[in-house]
Amino acid sequence: MRLERDSTALSALRDSLDLNEQTLLTLRLDERLPWGEIAEIMSSGGEPIDAAAARKRFERLKTKLGELARRQGLIR
């Protein structure tokens, strides 16, 4: 029951992100793509980024998600 509730809450957190953040999560976590490929895909929509920038965006996104999850009581 708790696992199901947490899973639903995590999905809601993910849905609350903007499209670029959702794309970054999908490419890295779901598709398990390397940073170079992620940067290439993320650059195709406009502003070019390199692998290091994609990795840094992901780090900031992890921090943001952690803060959101703490506020919702999903983690301590």
CATH code for the domain in which residue 52 is found: 1.10.10
Q: How far apart are CA 47 and CA 23, in angstroms?
A: 15
Q: How far apart are CA 1 and CA 33, in angstroms?
A: 32
Q: Which residues contact 14 (CB under 8 A, 6 or more apart)?
A: 22, 25
Q: Which residues contact 21 (CB under 8 A, 6 or more apart)?
A: 61, 64
Does residue 76 sit within a domain? no
Per residue in 14-56, pLDDT tens? 999 999 999 999 999 999 999 999 999 999 978 899 999 999 9
Q: How many folded domains does the chain comprise? A: 1
Structure pTM?
Answer: 0.86
Does residue 46 sit within a domain? yes
- Residue 34: per-residue pLDDT: 98
Does residue 48 sit within a domain? yes
Domain that holds residue 9: 2-71
